[in-house]
Structure 1
Amino acid sequence: MLLLARTEFIQRVSDSVLNQLLDKLLERGVISDEEMQSARTKSTADKARDVIDSVRRKGSEASSFLIAALCQLDPCVSRELSLR
């Protein structure tokens, strides 16, 4: 599901939402501190690309958590991307 929404996610998600997603992913143990620090130094599009690709590689549980967090943080974008 994330693969289908990847391009739109990169184009639409805001930097503020990405930073909140990074915090949630770190708290949950989906990403490491190093992954979070690396992503935070990048442009918004590159940060979005890193987040979605890293989470997708970690499997369905990590992907489901990202989707749930995005739905909570930005319901508008999650609806536009058909993520539920």
Structure 2
Amino acid sequence: MAIALTGCTSPGSHSSAGLAPIPGSITYHGQPRTKLTKSPVGSSFPHTFTDQWGRQVEEIYIIRPDRGLLIADRHYRPVFSLDND
């Protein structure tokens, strides 16, 4: 985990706007009202949800210096079908 956090806290690593929120993202309707005051700036955490098409989505968020959240990465988990048709 330390390697992942090191990459997240390097200078300029999260200076961009990040990914645009989609329905289900924590920041879809703007930044959360509660601030993550106990989490260190630059730390990251995952959020998993189901999108409007039924796909599993995992987003990685980074806490900015202003305590806002940046969507740093998004992955869609593959949907496997057991149907042999």
Which protein is bigger by CA-based radius of gyration? 2
Q: Judge same fold: TM > 0.5, yes or no.
A: no
TM-score class normalised by the smaller sequence: 0.3 to 0.5
TM-score by structure 1 length?
0.34
TM-score by structure 2 length?
0.34
| Richer in helix (by share) | 1
